[in-house]
Amino acid sequence: MIAGVVGVVGDSWMLEAEHVPVTWHSIRGFNQDSYDEIKQALCRDVGALSSSKIANTSSSCYCRSIARAARFAMIAEEVGFLDLISLVKKFLKETIQPWLDGTFRGNGFLYEKQWGGLITKSGADSNFVYGIAVLAKIDPNWVRSIGLEDSDVGRFQLISGEAVNAYYSAALMGLAYNDANLVAIGSTHAAQMWGYLKRDDEKFEEFTKENRLMEVLYSNNRESRVKWNTLAFYVLPLLPITEFLFSNVGFVKEVVEWTMPCLNRDGVLEKLKWLGRNL
């Protein structure tokens, strides 16, 4: 039993989850004075896209390349730089289609019979859905042509940021397919309720003394063993939903103070340290 948690006996538990804003573009918008700088950065990053340069076949790594490119397309659309979208569309087709038709070498989708649903041979990531949703938006003709683990303490979700991106991407798929029900399901939100551990949270007083983010949510337990290597997955990729998820500035400061001492530990990837220094 977890210290500081009060047990409740009952036959049912009604959880009222809020709906979050689901948009293709940034919630607050870009400063128009920055448009030229953004367009220059887009030219550089989109110009460097190449499906043949993705060497890692693990879906966890591969999908982040897809989500990154898809985000370029949405930023370009928001700032009116429409000429670049066709280049991103080409990249997304080349990187997504082989997974869907079963011709991608080194990995592929499988159907998991116990729980039901698609998994991959190596790794698992929700960013596939985001990439597919964006491709469906920018190429309606293309769209017409076409998880959870178990443990001794119950099923669990590793890192709430992955779940948030999965539901956000599902909601965007609903927008692309004009499916209002899918939008409604995908926009439900409970990550801040269960994943953010604030100092004044009396329900988990003992747990919040040493923790600020809950990494693993089990059916009947919760655990925090966040390092900087994994903290990045709460934030990356930077999507419009990230603005809502980390809208509480005071809590973000608490998280930064909590994690900063970890920067000097062995094993923290150098390429992820910028996150702590720039939050």
| Tens of pLDDT, residues 78-100 | 999 999 999 999 999 999 888 88
**Cα 250 to Cα 217, 247, 257, 279, distances in angstroms:** 23, 9, 11, 12
Largest Cα–Cα separation, the chain: 59
Distance CA 277, CA 73 (A): 27
User: What is the reported pLDDT for 191?
Assistant: 63
Distance CA 100, CA 239 (A): 24
274 compared with 144, residue with greater pLDDT: 144
Using alpha carbons, select from 126, 48, 60 the residue that is nearest to residue 87: 48
The model carries a pTM of: 0.59
1-37 pLDDT per residue, tens = 445 566 777 777 776 767 777 889 988 889 999 999 9
Q: Give the pLDDT mean for 70-80.
A: 95
Confidence bin at 247 (pLDDT 50/70/90): confident
User: What is the reported pLDDT for 42?
Assistant: 96
Q: Give the pLDDT mean for 255-272.
A: 68
User: What is the reported pLDDT for 260?
Assistant: 75
User: What is the reported pLDDT for 271?
Assistant: 55
User: What is the reported pLDDT for 93?
Assistant: 93
User: What is the reported pLDDT for 95?
Assistant: 92
242 compared with 147, residue with greater pLDDT: 242
62 compared with 268, residue with greater pLDDT: 62
- Residue 38 clears pLDDT 90, i.e. is over it: yes
- Residue 220 clears pLDDT 70, i.e. is over it: no
98-151 pLDDT per residue, tens = 888 888 888 888 878 887 777 888 766 667 888 988 998 999 888 665 644 455
User: What is the reported pLDDT for 89?
Assistant: 94
10 compared with 237, residue with greater pLDDT: 10
User: What is the reported pLDDT for 186?
Assistant: 77
Confidence bin at 225 (pLDDT 50/70/90): low
165-210 pLDDT per residue, tens = 777 888 888 888 888 888 887 776 656 665 666 666 555 566 666 6
153-164 pLDDT per residue, tens = 555 555 666 677
User: What is the reported pLDDT for 125?
Assistant: 64
User: What is the reported pLDDT for 223?
Assistant: 65
User: What is the reported pLDDT for 13?
Assistant: 72
Tokens of 100: 């869907």
